[in-house]
Amino acid sequence: MSDRIEGLILKQTDYRENAVLLTVMTAEYGKISLVAHGARKLTSKNAASLMPYARIEFLFDYKDGRTIFRLQNARTVRLYRHLHEDLVLSAAAAVVCEVCDLLAYDSLDAGTAARYFMETDQALELLNGGTDPDVLLAVYISDMLQEAGLAPAADGCAVCGDVHVVGISAEAGGFVCAAHAAELNVPRQSVTRLRQFRLLNKASLDQIGRLDGLIEKAGDDVAVLIDILRLHAGLEIRSFAFYQRLNAIE
C-alpha cells in the first residue's frame, strides 16, 4: 500500500550511484529512511524537493517492521527558505535536526513521534521567521530533553532539590545549591543568569515570544543543554561545534 504523508528532512546523504538517503521525521511512522533513486541527476523531478530542513509531502510503500523505504515522489510543502540562505540559521537548523535525529530512536511510540515532529517543525518555522537562534535552540533542546524524560532541574538543586541555587551544572543536570556547587566545583552565577536559565527551561516554543527582552544572551545556556544531552543521554551533537564557531566569528 502506498502512503502519502508529510515529513521533515533531518539529513541527506549520498547513497550508491545517483541516489540519496534521506532521514525523515514523520508524525505517523516516527523516524524513517527514504532512498531517492536518481536524485543526484540534475534532471530528477524530485531533486528540488529533497533539501534538508524542509517539510515535504511524499509517497512511499510502507511495510511493517522496516525503517528504510523507497521514495516514490515528493513535493516541498515548506522550504524554510531563510534556513538555506543564512549561514548561522542554517547551522542552527542543523543542530535542531541533529537533536531530533539522535533522540528519535527507531521504535518511538506514536504519541512521542508526533510530538517530536510537531516540535521540530515548529522550531524550524520559528527559526525561519526570525526568532533569535540561541533562544530558539535553548527552548527547543530543553523541550526535547523534557520529552525524553531528561528535563533539566530548573526549580531547585539537581542533586538535593534545595530551592536556593547558586550555579548551573550540566554534570548534575541543572541548578545546584551552594553546598553542591562547592562539592562539584561549579562557579557561582549572577541572579540574572540563573533567572534566565529558568525562563528558557520553563518556556515552550508556543510562548517563545514572551521571552522577548528578557534574555540577554542564551549561548551559554544552549551549551549547558548540549552538555546535558552528552552527559545524561550519551548523545554527541556534532553540528553544535560548527554553530559555536560561527557565533564566535560574528
Determine if 162 is a binding residue for Zn ion (CB under 5 A).
yes
AA identity, residue 48: A
* Number of shown-chain residues binding Zn ion (CB under 5 A): 6
Question: Is there binding between residue 181 and Zn ion (CB under 5 A)?
Answer: no
- Under rule CB under 5 A, residue 31 binds Zn ion: no
**Residues paired with 207 in a beta bridge:** none
Q: CB 171 → Zn ion: shortest distance, Å? A: 13
Q: Under the criterion CB under 5 A, does residue 153 sit at the interface with Zn ion?
A: no
Does 155 help bind Zn ion (rule: CB under 5 A)?
Answer: no
Nearer to Zn ion, 89 or 166 (CB): 166
Exactly one of 46, 180, 189, 196 binds Zn ion (CB under 5 A); that residue is: 180
Grid cell 528504510 — which residue?
Answer: 68
Tell me if 169 contacts Zn ion by CB under 5 A. Answer: no
Residue of the chain from 95, 108, 157, 203 that contacts Zn ion (CB under 5 A): 157
159 part of the interface to Zn ion, by CB under 5 A: yes
Q: Which is nearer to Zn ion, 31 or 180 (CB)?
A: 180
Which position among 48, 59, 160, 241 is part of the footprint of Zn ion (CB under 5 A)? 160
Q: Which is nearer to Zn ion, 164 or 238 (CB)?
A: 164
The footprint of Zn ion (CB under 5 A) covers: 157, 159-160, 162, 177, 180
